[in-house]
Structure 1
C-alpha cells in the first residue's frame, strides 16, 4: 500500500502470510490507509490548483500566453495571441477560457485571465482526487435513444 501526501510517501506491505490470509491483510491495509488519510488529508482543490509548476513562465499559476495554432506559422502581425486561464474541475477535466490580446490588449487580457481563474477557484470545493482523470464517465445513451424505432 502506497500513499503520497505533500511530497511524502507512506508505504507499507501487507503480506497474506504475516496477516493470516487475504481478507486479514486487506483489512489491515485499509486500516493503515485510513490512519494515513486521517493524519494527512488530501490536498483541497484550491491547494492543488495553486501548486507552482516548474514550467510556469507567466508568474501566475494557471495563466499562460497562447498563440492560436492555426496562426503559429504566419508572420507575427497575423498571429492571434491570447491569455488563457485554466483550472481543474471536480471530475478531473480542466476548464479553459481565453482572452484575446488584440481585443483587450496585453495587460487587459492578462488581467481578465487572472480574474476568471480567481473567480473559478473561489467556487472550487472538496478534496483533489488524482484518480478522477483516469475514471472515465460512462457514455451510455438513454434507453429511448438506444433502441431504433419501428416504423
Structure 2
C-alpha cells in the first residue's frame, strides 16, 4: 500500500486505549528536531491525515534543502588547530624506508558526503610557500575566491 518514499519520516500512531489515531512526522537535520502529529478525526480520516502529514513533510524537506543550498556552514577553528586556518594542517607521512616527509594539507567538502584533500610538499615548495598554496587551495575549494 505505502512505498518507502511515501513513508519516509512518517509513522502511523494507533493507540486505541488512548483514542489516539494519526500520523507522526519526525525529521532531524544538523541536530535540530522537527515533529508534527496529524490526528485522523480533525483531518477527516486516515487518508486525509496521511495526506496532510505527507504535504507537511515534503514542504519541510524542501525548506531544509533550500537552507542547505543557500547557507554555508561556518567552521570555527579547533583548539587543536595550530595553523590558524580552518581546513589547513601540517601532516607528516612516513615512507617505507623510514624517511618522514612533511606536507601542508588543505581539506574541504564541495558537496554533502564528499571530501577533497590536496597536499603541498614542504621539501619541494618550502614551509611558507607550501602553507600559502594549501590556504589558496582551500579557499578555491570552498568557493570563497
Length-normalised TM-score, structure 1: 0.56
Indicate how the Cα distance of structure 1 residues 3 and 102 shifts in structure 2: closer, same or farther if over 3 A, else same.
same
Higher relative contact order (CA 8 A, sep 6+): 1
Q: Which has the larger radius of gyration?
A: 2
Q: Which runs of 5+ in 2 are unaligned?
A: 1-25
- Which residue of 1 is the match for residue 17 of structure 2? none
Mapped to 1, the partners of 2:68 and 2:114 lie a distance apart of 17
Pairwise mapping of residues 80-95 of structure 1 onto structure 2 (< 5 A)? 80-90=101-111, 92-95=113-116
Partners of 1:83 and 1:100 within 8 A in 2: yes
Equivalent position to 2:36, from 12, 36, 39: 12
Equivalent position to 1:51, from 61, 75, 95: 75
Mapped to 1, the partners of 2:94 and 2:84 lie a distance apart of 23
Q: Which runs of 5+ in 1 are unaligned?
A: 124-151
- Which residue of 2 is the match for residue 62 of structure 1? 87
Q: CA RMSD in A?
A: 3.6
